[in-house]
Structure 1
Amino acid sequence: MHPSRVLITAAFVLAGVSNAMAASSVDLSVVGVITPSACTPTLSGDGVVDHGKISIQDFPEFGYKVLPKATLQLEVACDAPVLMAVKSTDNRPGTAIPTYPTQPQDLSRFGLGLTSAGKKIGWYELSTSNATADDNPVGLIESPTGNTWVNAPDRSTWQPGWMRTAHDSSSAPFPMTRFSAQVGVATTLTGKRDLPIAEEVYIDGSATLDVVYL
């Protein structure tokens, strides 16, 4: 994407003129590229991680309740080789319990919703591993903007709002027709003392994985 350009006009003080002359207009540009290629992402199990019913009596007296880790298979199929990445978005922003109590929110965790009293239920984290591009094993890179990329090792935390894609020998994205990766989902619930004991609490985590064309 080409950045918008703003024209800046320098003001010169002319001999014998007390006031500087300045332009009274500014240009705005709207740019972009319409690509003929299209990609379709899918997740195994319809993208649902169902932990079922969990008894409050199974929670520890202190600390958090760690649930079994789940793994989903992410597949992206494109109709032609294309530069693309997959971006994660938390649909329950601000509801994840942060690592430190003084933090208003945690940038690496996804939320699980709130209790009827407005208490945070817990959080979950995403990770990726065993990625392939066009059926070949690949390493992954990630970026929040698509401008600068860094390595994303297997099973490293995939932060909300960040993009991940395969990289070539120069650690840059490259065109591909098929992309796949295992997505790990690690869920943790808050302690027993922070949950209501007289009502059911619904775990309500939701995230969106979008294909972004680079």
Structure 2
Amino acid sequence: MKQSLSLVTSAFLLMGASNLFAASSIDLSVVGVLTPSACTPALSGGGMVDHGKISMSDLSYDAYLPLATLALSVNCEASTLMAVKSTDNRSGSAWYEYDTESAFGLGFHGENWRLGGYRLLVKNVQVDGAPAPSIESVDGKLWFPATEDQAWQPRWMRSVGAVGEADAIPVPVQNLAMDLTIQTRVRKPRGAITEEVPLDGSATLDIVYL
């Protein structure tokens, strides 16, 4: 019994010494992959949706504005595994009643009155001229099928999967095209309004190489 106890104690001492030495240094790794091909995104209309002037007298509380559609294209020098990530440049200002999480912001009136929001719907996805299924991911690792009535949420990525495949796995593409339908919903500013209130939505679409 005494011998066993001594062996166990020695083992703990050795393990403690090993941890002590390991804690005195740490490795730093800088990694990445240089891709031979680059992809260039483009939006029709200069990426601008202008709803013009909206009479506040027409707003009882909130209202949906007419749908707008922009064409998004991504052209790569060669077939490339990539995705498009959305970022809300007015983060925290979105209001879309029960669906605020999936909306992009339109800015504030005053200090904290959110003016509304807009949702992005992806339709008519094509790869090299042929229809392709849309898929989405928040981290680029776990992917899900994305239907046409499913909003493209801020911070999420969209890519395309293989036609006829049940699994949502990104595939390399060279020429990607899709329609972005913009659903804008505004709500009336609080208090007496004596001047025009601008809608100030802004989002960025970035190419992410997978």
Alpha-carbon shift at residue 98 of structure 1 (Å): 5.3
Q: In structure 2, the residue corresponding to 1:79 is in which secondary structure?
A: strand
Number of residue pairs aligned between Structure 1 and Structure 2: 196
Matches within 5 A, 1:157-172: 157-168=151-162, 169=165, 170-172=167-169
Equivalent residue number for residue 36 of structure 1: 36
In structure 1, what is the Cα distance between the partners aligned to 2:161 and 2:29? Answer: 31
In structure 2, what is the Cα distance between the partners aligned to 1:161 and 1:140? Answer: 16
Amino acid at match of 1:162: W
Contact 2:100/2:117 (<8 A) preserved: no
Counterpart pick for 1:139 among 123, 133, 136:
133
Q: CA separation of 1:178/1:199 partners in 2, compared to 1, >3 Å: closer, same or farther?
A: same
Consecutive aligned runs of 4 or more in structure 1 exceeding 2 Å deviation? 12-19
Q: Which has the larger radius of gyration?
A: 2
Equivalent residue number for residue 172 of structure 2: 175
Name which of structure 1's ranges 73-82 and 118-127 shifts more when overlaid on structure 2.
Answer: 118-127
Contact 2:127/2:174 (<8 A) preserved: yes
With normalisation by structure 2, the TM-score equals 0.86
Contact 1:155/1:184 (<8 A) preserved: no
- Unaligned 5+ segments in structure 2 are 1-7
In structure 1, what is the Cα distance between the partners aligned to 2:66 and 2:191? Answer: 20
Identity of aligned residues (%): 47
Matched, 1:156 2:156: no
What RMSD, in angstroms, separates the aligned Cα atoms of the two structures? 2.1
Question: Which structure has greater helix proportion?
Answer: 2
Q: In structure 2, the residue corresponding to 1:180 is in which secondary structure?
A: strand
Alpha-carbon shift at residue 118 of structure 1 (Å): 3.4
In structure 1, what is the Cα distance between the partners aligned to 2:161 and 2:42? Answer: 21
In structure 2, what is the Cα distance between the partners aligned to 1:126 and 1:195? Answer: 30
Contact 2:56/2:188 (<8 A) preserved: no
Counterpart pick for 1:71 among 69, 72, 82:
69
